[in-house]
Structure 1
Amino acid sequence: MPSTPYVSNKPKNTETREELRARIPGWGADLDPADRPSYPKERLDPSATGAHWDFPERQAGAEGREHSIEHEIVPPVFGTSVPLKGFSGAIRRHAYASYSEGRAAHWLLLILGDRVDAWESHLRSLASLRPDNPVTETGVLSERRRHGIASRFGVKRSDINHQWIDPLIVGAPWVAAGGAAVVVVRKLVRRR
């Protein structure tokens, strides 16, 4: 069995309570049951976990799945609802294969992969017969009906600081795509 945190029995401590108390200030402050708020409901029987396994049954399809380089294996259960695809999937695979979760590069690459995935989805949407509708999907129309402007004054909202750039982030790609479509159509018309 590989060394893994996914086992039913907790590994034995290598240090005694006294050694831990001497090394870590405050360690063991809750050893006295009277000091623990959860004591009456707490089960102290380690065999009462309810687990009927020593190592959980593995979910099928773990081969080739992304996982942290800190762990040898994929967790026994993992999500499969959104498999990685396209260039965004390559970015995410690189983040998992190359960087620890403790490194900023890992998380920045995952954020970049998310943004690239959004762009890939927008492009797929433009190529389909039913493209995204940025006007209704961003909630712009509800600004007038739901007192959107009035709700921004006199209250402390966390999104006030970045509201000025939101139209650029959401609207600029659509304006750029529309401009590119106009340029392409003009070139096609001129060739004919």
Structure 2
Amino acid sequence: MKSSTGRYRILAVAILTLGVGVAAPANASPATKFVPAAITDPAGDVYDDDDEPTDAPYADIVSANGRSGAGNLVLTYKTAKALSPLDDPNWESDNTFTDFLLDTNADGDADFTVEYAVLDGEQYVDVYQVDDQDDPPALCSGVAAFTSGTHSATVPLSCLGNPSSLGYRVETVYDQDVDDDSSLAAYDVAPETGFAKVN
């Protein structure tokens, strides 16, 4: 598992779902309906730490998808501009990562988060249970990839308890200038409310 102390992002998840330019999902009943799996997101809807619009195309989600099969969950997304995290120095920042939030019981709340990031020059994927622990251990690791402009995270379904239904939401956090201590992070989320269905 590649993550290190402090890289678990539940606090950033809370920031994203409570503000930062996006609407928080409404409380949902167990009968929550997921939106279709393959989703599109408008370009140019990225906000910074001051909750102001910002031009950050490498954080700007334009499409995402979630698929399951052969014992694995594959989560993907594309941004307005494509660049491998290994070629972008801003991904070396602790303030650059992507979380895939997973709803495994259709209650409208995240049960797991899949962290996709870079550490020590390598991409990694780790899975965490969403709970009230300050520094919870990673439950398992997955496979991170960037191919043909698409970011992907693959994790074993067994790590999630082999749920019968799955919803996902993608949240990007992007340090716009790793060399500037005053740089503001950029944020985007898709879908903007609720979860998309994993096929």
- Give the shorter-chain TM-score range: under 0.3
- Higher helix fraction (1 or 2): 1
TM-score, length-normalised on structure 1? 0.18
- Higher strand fraction (1 or 2): 2
- The structure having more radius of gyration, on CA atoms, is 1
Higher relative contact order (CA 8 A, sep 6+): 2
